Amino acid sequence: MSDVARLTSRVELDGGSDVVAVEEPLEIRVGGEPLAVTMRTPGHDEELAVGFLHGEGLITAGAPLRAGLTDDLAANVVEVDATLTRDPGTRRFYTTSSCGVCGRGALDEVLLTAPDVGPRDTPHVPRALLASLPERLRQPGFDATGGLHATGLFDLAGELLLVREDVGRHNAMDKVIGRVLLDGGLPLADRVLCVSGRLSFELVQKAAMAGAPVLVGVSAPTSLAVSLARECGMTLAGFARDGRVNVYAGAGRVT
């Protein structure tokens, strides 16, 4: 099945039909115990599960890890075999496709667990390159539906290395980071992350946990996103469009 076919569904409407983004629930289990439910676009679910757990500081790069879909609920359950870094206790996560784990996680908690992203003035990234990254994202699902977000992983020359689409912007980020985690590529010390929408706190959190020094978005950041990026020493750039970009944190890397 092609990516577009997996990401989309045709629905009837008055006078014809339309193509819309697929949205279904996914339950994430660790050691057989339910831990999280997220609304997502099916596909790359193992990446989503491990990326989510890593972003929440529940697993670390380099630790033994295995993930796979189960037969439950028409493959809407993914089982992760990993040793958690801490006991989540009675806390369980429910995330929607729009907002991620809204309101959870203070700045101090992220700062305690996020790796250092390195010197505040390296790597060097040209401003013009940052401004061009959203145009380099491949988004066939969005082109077909107008209803999907994307996260892309770029090298310092602006080459797109990996891209994932999902109805949830945080899910797209989790899928990219999860893929890199499974491939043993964390931390993202010499990579740039780019998202197709606004820059919210949870996206900066996930990027910080992955050790990414630079995060770019096509839209606006929130105040908490800017605060966290500055505390973590990340470069945060928004409104990357039409050859221009605003740098809200970490301007020392931008040439």
End of a domain among 69, 104, 139?
104
CATH of residue 87: 3.10.20.10
Give the whole-angstrom CA distance, residue 171 versus residue 45. Answer: 9
**Which pLDDT score, from 0 to 100, does residue 100 have?**
44
One domain for residues 138 and 85: no
* Domain of 43, in residue numbers: 24-104
Number of H helices and E strands in the chain, helices first, is 8, 13
Check whether residue 76 and residue 167 sit in a common domain.
Answer: no
The verdict on 246 and 186 lying in the same domain is: yes
pLDDT of residue 107: 67
Please indicate if the annotation marks 52 as binding a ligand.
no
Task: Please report whether residue 6 resides in a domain.
Answer: no
Q: What distance in Å separates the CA atoms of residue 39 and residue 243, rounded to the nearest whole number?
A: 34
241 is in an annotated binding site: yes
From CA 22, how far away is CA 19, in angstroms rounded? Answer: 9
Least confident window among 60-74, 133-147, 237-251: 60-74
pLDDT the model gives residue 181: 95
Cα separation of 176 and 179, whole Å? 5
Tell me whether residue 152 is exposed, middle or buried, using C-beta atoms within 10 angstroms of its C-beta: 0 to 12, 13 to 18, 19 or more: buried
- Domain identity same for 247 and 157: yes
244 is in an annotated binding site: yes
Tell me if residue 102 is catalytic: no
Tell whether residue 150 is among the known ligand binding residues.
no
Return the axis-axis angle of helices 201-209 and 169-182, rounded to nearest 10°. 0
Q: What is the pLDDT of residue 72?
A: 58
Average pLDDT, the chain: 87
Verify that 138 and 207 share a domain, yes or no.
yes
Question: Beta partners for 33?
Answer: 30
Does 247 lie in the same domain as 172? yes
Are 82 and 196 within one domain? Answer: no
In a domain, 14, yes or no: no
For the entire predicted model, the pTM comes to 0.89
- The domain that holds 167 is classified in CATH as 3.40.140.10
- By DSSP bridging, strand 149-154 and strand 93-95 are unpaired
Rounded to the nearest 5°, which phi and psi values hold at 54?
-70, -40
On whether 93 is known to bind a ligand per the annotation, the reply is no
Same domain, 134 and 239: yes
Which of 99, 102, 194, 232 is labelled catalytic? 99
Q: Has residue 214 got a pLDDT over 70?
A: yes
Q: 163 and 82: one domain?
A: no
- 104 known ligand binder: no
Tokens 């996930």 appear where?
Answer: 206
**Looking at the 3D structure of the chain, how many domains does it have?**
2
Q: Is residue 31 part of a domain?
A: yes
Please give the Cα distance from 93 to 86 (Å, whole number): 15
Closest CA to 48 of 152, 211, 176, 186: 176
Does residue 119 lie in a domain region?
no
Give the integer Cα–Cα distance in Å for 194 and 203. Answer: 10
State how far the Cα of 31 lies from the Cα of 34, in Å rounded to an integer: 8
